[in-house]
Amino acid sequence: MLAAVVALMACIGSAQAEDGYALWMRYVPLDAPLAAAYRTQLAEVVAPDHTPTQRAAREELERGLAGLLGSAPPMRVAAATGPAVVLGTPQSSPLIAPFGEQIASLGGEGYLLERTRLAGHDVVLVAARTDIGVLYGTFHLLRLLQAGAALDTLAVRESPQLGRRVLNHWDDLDGHVERGYAGRSLWEWQTLPEWRDPRYTDYARANASVGINGTVLNNVNASAQSLAPEYLDKAAALADLFRPYGIRVYLSARFSAPIELGGLETADPLDPAVRRWWRDKAAEIYSRIPDFGGLLVKANSEGQPGPQDYGRSHAEGANLLADALAPHGGVVMWRAFVYAHDVPADRATQAYTEFVGLDGAFRPNVILQVKNGPIDFQPREPFHPLFGAMPRTPLMMEVQITKEYLGFATHLVYLGPLYEEVLHADAHARGKRSTVAQTLTGMAGVANIGNDRTWSGSHFDQANWYAFGRLAWNPGQSAADIAAEWAAMTFSPDREVVQPIVGMMMGSREAAVNYMTPLGLHHLMARGHHHGPGPWVDGGPRADWTSVYYHRADRDGIGFDRTARGSNAVAQYAPHVADRYGDLQQVPESLLLWFHHLPWDHRMASGQTLWDELVRRYAQGVRGVEDMQSTWAGLRGRVDAQRYAQVEAFLRIQRREAQWWRDASVAYFQSVSGRPLPEGEATPPHPLAWYQAQQSPSAPGDGR
Ligand code: BDP
């Protein structure tokens, strides 16, 4: 009887169906005693409401407090009559004016949260130099309240470490999202600019809540059309909606747009007519979007047009656009993801070779956008050797939030640890310890957002959007802390919910590495769409789109020799780093086969041979997923039924696909090595040919 009552109460506690739309801004009622305490401390809100950003902050706080506390406190504009939250800048609020000095060094986006006394009342201050700082501070306060933090000793000073924190949408104008696993594009180009879907504002709220301050609306494989006047009007409508939330709109530009849109015969960056065309285009953009952020360009990469089509360098190409944008304050984000099929050099070396000599040749408003690793968003890569190697060029690090190579939206893989690993890596720039983060001026994240009700294709993929924003704001944060705050807001602040979820999240990336590409292996996914295993992929248009190019396994051994005996990619790193990666004694096992080709009998730290260890790692990856399944099962009844069920089902998909990865990979590598499986490791249930015959012709998100 008692058990039944307890079970019933648990059900009621989590009965409300949740579809994930509210993201980490659910603002569900807090426990009664906590809500009561907050109601006393935050008896009213005093906040200006003259500008759109001021209203955004005010409304967010009102919405948040109404949800968390059961009802919103009185909202005032000028004076506090009791314990209050007081929002503002020295200009917008006379109450904040006395704190001018304290906030002087916070910069344009920073804020101060402080518990203090004002006109005889205890207040919580959210003070900043700008309205947008206040909005960021408001979201911070709401984070604390959602987690049930004590306010008595509140004293927070925050400013972003990186200036540009930008999402890259790989969205096509027809609604398809390249490498998108969360439905179709959020942008309804067809109905813009007239119809301003309220979802656009929720998108802006979510981004502002984690400090993202820019968004590139369209695919880097860009259609010139996105710069045509009618599309600029549509982009301008989005910019209007995003502006109050501190988000600037950027666009991807097709380098040959002067030909396709302008009817010119060339897109040569040194041609006067081309230069004029871009100048006019920039003026046209800024007449519609006065705070337009700038252009993102993928040039001379994977078939995209670029300056090299005219014998010009990447710097000449980037500077052409930079000169057009400079009078308006815009930037060019020029991508370093460049490699050529007719260059036989190790693909991992090509971007560095192409760009390092151009350091100092770019205009000041060019930012080089470099992927986190030298290949392509693999489950694990070493950091890109360009970080730290171009001291005179501002660099942005580009990461994928969408999980093209990490099981799409159905695999639970928290990317916080991946981002953290790269950001905290020692690039050893200028001969001394310095993290990759210290070499950056911004971060770009390839968005995992679509029109799926969950936004990101799954509940846990929301955490990757969240973690991207939080780490771009402050790369020094720990992925585990970020997971904990996300889990508290997304599921429940209850420790017994947060802790197991954080455990799942923190182990998830390593599990995926193990069941897909352990020990530094990379790029072994099926061809094209990258869904599922394809370690046997060979032939086709270019060697560096095959798996055999990367793993180089044969009867004797496996791995890509990138030491001086091989491609010598290792020499692109600072000597201190190169020594470490190039030396078998020092290289971390997690990157072993990235840098070294080794015999199957090579002894690993565990004492096992490389072959045995490899096979065991695959099984370990599958076990990691099983562990997540049992942790999640333990949360039944503590998480609302709707989200519980979807996560549970997705974990089953992940479990099945992890096993598929393990079996297919073991079958394949065994066919190459000819070795017996270590004791206790099951023979794959099908012959290799069966795995090779599996096809996923309709896998989502394919490029085209
Ligand atoms: C790869 C994707 C491809 C992108 C390319 C890029 O497979 O769809 O166009 O990166 O970043 O990861 O340009």
pLDDT digits (tens, 9 = 90+) for 79-91: 888 999 999 999 9
Tell me what pLDDT residue 80 has: 82
Kindly list the domain boundaries of the chain, sorted by start residue: 21-158, 164-490, 515-560+597-692
| Closest ligand 1 atom number to CA of residue 530 | 7
Tell me what pLDDT residue 650 has: 98
Q: In this structure, which residue's CA is closest to atom 11 in ligand 1? A: 337
Q: In this structure, which residue's CA is closest to atom 4 in ligand 1? A: 703
What does the alpha-carbon distance between residue 339 and residue 337 come to, in Å, rounded to a whole number? 7
Q: In this structure, which residue's CA is closest to atom 7 in ligand 1? A: 703
Question: Ligand 1 center to residue 416 CA distance, Å?
Answer: 21
Tens digit of each residue's pLDDT (9 = 90 or more) over 626-644: 999 999 999 999 999 999 9
CATH 3.20.20.80 assigned to 164-490: yes
Spell out which residues line ligand 1, taking CB within 6 angstroms. Answer: 178-179, 220-221, 298, 302, 337, 376-377, 404, 703
Q: In this structure, which residue's CA is closest to atom 12 in ligand 1? A: 376
Question: Ligand 1 center to residue 418 CA distance, Å?
Answer: 18
Q: Of residues 197, 202, 291, 302, which has the active-site annotation? A: 302
In the predicted model, is pLDDT for residue 300 greater than 80? Answer: yes
Q: Of residues 404, 452, 485, 663, which has the active-site annotation? A: 404
Tens digit of each residue's pLDDT (9 = 90 or more) over 363-409: 999 999 999 999 999 999 999 999 999 999 999 999 999 999 999 99
Q: Of residues 18, 376, 381, 663, which has the active-site annotation? A: 376
Tens digit of each residue's pLDDT (9 = 90 or more) over 122-142: 999 999 999 999 999 999 999
DSSP secondary structure letters along 566-589: TT-GGGGS-HHHHHHHH-TTTS-G
Strand partners for 125: 86, 114
In the predicted model, is pLDDT for residue 14 greater than 50? Answer: no
To the nearest 10°, the Cα dihedral for 535, 536, 538, 540? Answer: -80
The answer to whether the peptide bond before residue 193 is cis (omega within 30 degrees of 0) is yes
Mean pLDDT of the chain: 96
- How many other C-beta atoms lie within 10 A of the C-beta of residue 603? 12
CATH 3.30.379.10 assigned to 21-158: yes
To the nearest 10°, the Cα dihedral for 620, 591, 352, 537? Answer: -50
Q: In this structure, which residue's CA is closest to atom 8 in ligand 1? A: 703
What does the alpha-carbon distance between residue 26 and residue 474 come to, in Å, rounded to a whole number? 24
In the predicted model, is pLDDT for residue 182 greater than 70? Answer: yes
Strands 395-400, 84-88: pairing is unpaired
Q: In this structure, which residue's CA is closest to atom 1 in ligand 1? A: 376
Residues 11-21, mean pLDDT to the nearest whole number: 65
Is residue 496 annotated as a catalytic residue, yes or no? no
CATH 3.40.190.10 assigned to 515-560+597-692: no
Tens digit of each residue's pLDDT (9 = 90 or more) over 212-264: 999 999 999 999 999 999 999 999 999 999 999 999 999 999 999 999 999 99
- The HSE-up count of residue 381 (CA atoms within 13 Å, CB side) is 20
Is residue 601 annotated as a catalytic residue, yes or no? no
What does the alpha-carbon distance between residue 11 and residue 15 come to, in Å, rounded to a whole number? 5
Given this chain, do its domains 164-490 and 515-560+597-692 carry the same CATH topology?
no
Question: Ligand 1 center to residue 700 CA distance, Å?
Answer: 14
Question: Ligand 1 center to residue 36 CA distance, Å?
Answer: 51
Question: Ligand 1 center to residue 704 CA distance, Å?
Answer: 10
- How many other C-beta atoms lie within 10 A of the C-beta of residue 144? 16
Tell me what pLDDT residue 420 has: 98
Question: Ligand 1 center to residue 617 CA distance, Å?
Answer: 28
| pTM > 0.95: yes or no | yes
In the predicted model, is pLDDT for residue 10 greater than 50? Answer: no
Is residue 354 annotated as a catalytic residue, yes or no? no
Tens digit of each residue's pLDDT (9 = 90 or more) over 528-549: 999 999 999 999 998 999 999 9
pLDDT > 90 fraction of the chain, expressed in percent and rounded: 95
Strands 366-371, 331-335: pairing is parallel
C-alpha dihedral sign at 24, 26, 31, 35: positive
What does the alpha-carbon distance between residue 279 and residue 302 come to, in Å, rounded to a whole number? 27
Tell me what pLDDT residue 340 has: 82
Tell me what pLDDT residue 78 has: 83
Band (pLDDT 50/70/90 cuts) for residue 16 is low
Tell me what pLDDT residue 11 has: 40
Tell me what pLDDT residue 13 has: 41
| Closest ligand 1 atom number to CA of residue 219 | 9
Tell me what pLDDT residue 574 has: 97
